[in-house]
Amino acid sequence: MLLELRNIYKSFGEKEVLKGISFSTEGGKAFGLLGRNGAGKTTTIRILMNVFPANGGEVLIDGKPIDYSKVGIGYLPEERGLYPKKKISEQLVFFAQLKGMNRTDAVKAVDYWLNRLNMTEYRDKRLDTLSKGNQQKIQLVTAVAHNPDIVILDEPFSGLDPVNAMLLEEVVKEEIGKGKILLFSSHQMNYIEEFCDSIAILNGGKAAVCGELREIKRSYRRDKLTVSSPQRELILNDPDFSAKYLDGGELLITLSSPEEKNPVMRRLTEKYDIDGIKVFEPSLNDIFVEYAGERE
């Protein structure tokens, strides 16, 4: 399954929120939709979900306009949308039925996911008796219980402790393994880097950068090296190399040009005890700061 958003425009009154957003992703992969607050992420997601129409552009599945009666979408919103005073199992079954499941299948699916997320003991509790992290897990059930083709996760790791974050990571990998399309929207760049093959960074209603994360990183000027060495203090004070510390104890050496890469590597390994040396690639956080900053 190939999902494409082509040249999406959206205005609210005189305010143009989206100005020609385009990106694509396919089943069995995760896509990161990034941007600062107000960049257009939520509007893009709502158009994809058919909450409201675009003013221009198309949402396509396998090259044809998406048929919402045939393509299931699951959504985990950043802001919670469940009933705090209602019994958990009852409202989960209710939401699964709203997504098209019959009651028998909905009950089975809810029981499966409560067990998968270690939440079975809470099935007859009220939502407001649970911790923030456990409420997040219950909200996740509403996004996946109906076995959707596309799963949209907006800040999915918010409020989760390390154990529950690891559990959610397993679930995400399982859903990707089933061939589903996963769309992430998050400011936690470490999770985007872990799961997403491709990203789009929105800025001012446009895609400031879009494509495979690996290729975006490789497109940067390759004029820096990271070096691991027990002699890093000597290297740091060597006037032949422009070096500084990185977090984690490695050194960052800046070259005069990318063509200096091999000669500098050779001089380093001849002169010092080197444990590791490689071309520096920017982190997703570096890329986000560059492309999501203020620009017209």
Task: Quote the strand ranges of the chain, DSSP E.
Answer: 2-12, 15-26, 29-35, 56-61, 64-65, 73-76, 150-154, 181-185, 196-203, 206-212, 224-228, 242-245, 251-254, 276-279
Token match 């393994």: residue?
177
Task: Summarize the confidence of residues 168-189 as an average pLDDT.
Answer: 92
Contacts of 109 (CB under 8 A, 6+ apart): 96, 101, 145, 146, 147
Query: Does the pLDDT at position 125 exceed 70?
Result: yes
DSSP structure class, residue 96: H
pLDDT, mean of residues 84-90? 92
Q: What integer pLDDT is reported at residue 48 of this predicted model?
A: 96
Please say if the pLDDT value at position 266 is more than 60.
yes
Report the amino acid identity of residue 246.
Answer: L
Average pLDDT over the chain reads 92
Counting Cα atoms < 13 Å in the Cβ hemisphere of 86 gives 12
Is pLDDT at 295 greater than 60 in this prediction?
no
Mean pLDDT of 267-296: 86
What's the pLDDT score for residue 294? 62
Handedness of CA 178, 183, 185, 188 (dihedral sign): positive
% of the chain surpassing 70 pLDDT: 99
> Whole-model pTM?
0.85
Band (pLDDT 50/70/90 cuts) for residue 296 is very low
Kindly report, residue by residue over 27-69, the tens digit of the pLDDT.
999 999 999 988 999 999 999 999 999 999 999 999 999 999 9
Query: 88-98 and 132-144 helices cross at what angle (nearest 10)?
Result: 30
Among 190, 70, 79, smallest CA distance to 139 is for 79
